[in-house]
A = this chain, B = another copy of it.
Amino acid sequence: MSENSNHMSPEEFRRNGYAVIEWIARYMEEVGEYPVMSRVSPGEILDALPAAAPDHGSKDVLPILKDMDEIILPGITHWASPKFFAYFPSNASPPAILGDLMSSGLGVQGMLWVTSPAATELEIRMMDWLATLLQLPKRFHSGGNGGGVIQDSASSSVLCAILAARERVTQGQSNREGLSGTQPLTAYSSTEAHSSIEKGLRIAGIGSQGLRKVGVDEQFSIDLVALRAQIEADIAAGFRPFFVSATLGSTSSGAFDSVVGLGALCQEYDLWLHVDAAMFGTAAACPEYRWIHEGLELADSYCFNPHKWMLTNFDCCAFWVADRKDLIGALGIHPDYLQNRATDSGDVTDYRDWQIPLGRRFRALKLWFVLRTYGVEGIQRVVREHVGLTQMFAELVCAAPAFELCAPHPFNLVCFRLRGGDTENRQLMEALNDSGALYLSHTTLNDQFVLRFCVGQWATEECHVQEAWTRICEFAASVQSTAS
């Protein structure tokens, strides 16, 4: 490829690539100094960008990097900041960035085994590595009937689980004939479960009303007695219960359902049990936290997100099923133009049949880079450091008379609030976020506005948590003096 070509030559790519690597390295060095939440107004970035693509291109990346600094960076809310304590983290650790770069560079599309055997087989191996790392039940490993696959998100995983369960309970009728004219299906989760379950049920044609949101106890865990009563009532009313989603660490407060209790109920009523450990599954890398998975051998499907706490950049949700035939039965479709000898042999996995889209990136590479760079020990160390910092933060809250803790906090999420009204707490959050000094988010627990503080960004250290607490106290004093 000549330098006069339309395309960057490998040499031009090298030069530009070094510049982008350098830009990112500098970003890593400086991100802790930026205001965490972007301060732009709606439309500001849009207006700063030309209305149309340039007629003539340029193979020099430097003008784009200049615009990254001047136009894009002010519009970034810095998930990479060590002062990011909002939502759950989305970790782009250095090896994950490099693994993703490798995936982009190879540019393979792994819909079928044959379209790049390494993409499929590295993924199978990485899913087994993760299953071993978390000590997941044998049934999820690739050796037997089960297996794992990388999905883009826990939302897509729960949708796939719903579809596999729907396929199983209707014995294929839902895929063939649709749901019109069938017995109405009902699914179950706690009121604290993630919104993706309801969204998945809508997509699957079961509807919001097909989801029974069962109440929780004072730990925000699903009430098993109420769940049983609801299932019984639904059966009596002519519904067909088919699916339960258990939450191991709710988004709102990090609450854990009892998989042991749910598993027994699901066996009794022949329900699919999906377990969503999107954020906190990573904790099970440490033996002392493996209790979170007690009862998991009763689950039909399970997911957690390496793209949250396990240092791997979005998107990377690890999803397992105990019996892959239900999943493939729900999602497999085989047009002639994708027929090939390897598929026909039955000896290979074609991951197109395990997911909603047909095409897929080589996402296993970033997991491979992360797990080789950190090792088991390194992942454990990150988990323990974050849990330690979070417990330190919880003790600071606990010792401060103006504040109260609002939920159990066994891992790296603390729900707390200023003693006072919702208005003061909302003001406190907005003042903190507007200050740029840190970024946290909120939820509602027991009808109260509650602050969420999650320590999960890879670069967060004790100084950042201490500094955050200092700022929280300062702003709280200011809010309270204004209120009084």
Contact = CB atoms under 8 A, between A and B. Distances in A.
Contact of A175 (B18, B154, B208, B443): B208
A261 B243 CA distance: 43
Contact of A118 (B54, B76, B441): B76
A101 B24 contact: yes
A441 B49 contact: no
Interface string A47-82: 001011111111101011000100111111111100
A460 to B, nearest CB: 11
Given A358-B153, A359-B314, A442 B337 contact: yes
A12 B94 contact: yes
A119 B54 CA distance: 20
Interface stretch (A196-204, A398-406, A470-478): A196-204
Nearest to A116: B77
Interface string A141-173: 000000000001111100100010010000000
Given A108-B77, A368-B64, A18 B20 contact: no
Contacts of A124: 46
A452 B337 contact: yes
A393 to B, nearest CB: 19
Contact of A104 (B76, B78, B100, B109): B100
A287 to B, nearest CB: 13
Contacts of A136: none
A159 B104 contact: no
Contacts of A75: 116-119, 121-122
Interface stretch (A224-232, A267-275, A291-299, A341-349): A341-349
Contacts of A209: 176-178
A16 interface: yes
A450 to B, nearest CB: 10
Contact of A42 (B104, B106, B117, B338): B117
Contacts of A233: none
A155 B357 contact: yes
B109 A90 contact: yes
25 contacts: A7-B458, A12-B94, A24-B102, A37-B114, A40-B118, A42-B342, A42-B348, A49-B125, A52-B129, A55-B375, A56-B376, A59-B95, A61-B369, A71-B118, A74-B118, A75-B116, A75-B119, A79-B107, A80-B106, A97-B104, A155-B356, A177-B208, A180-B181, A180-B205, A315-B361
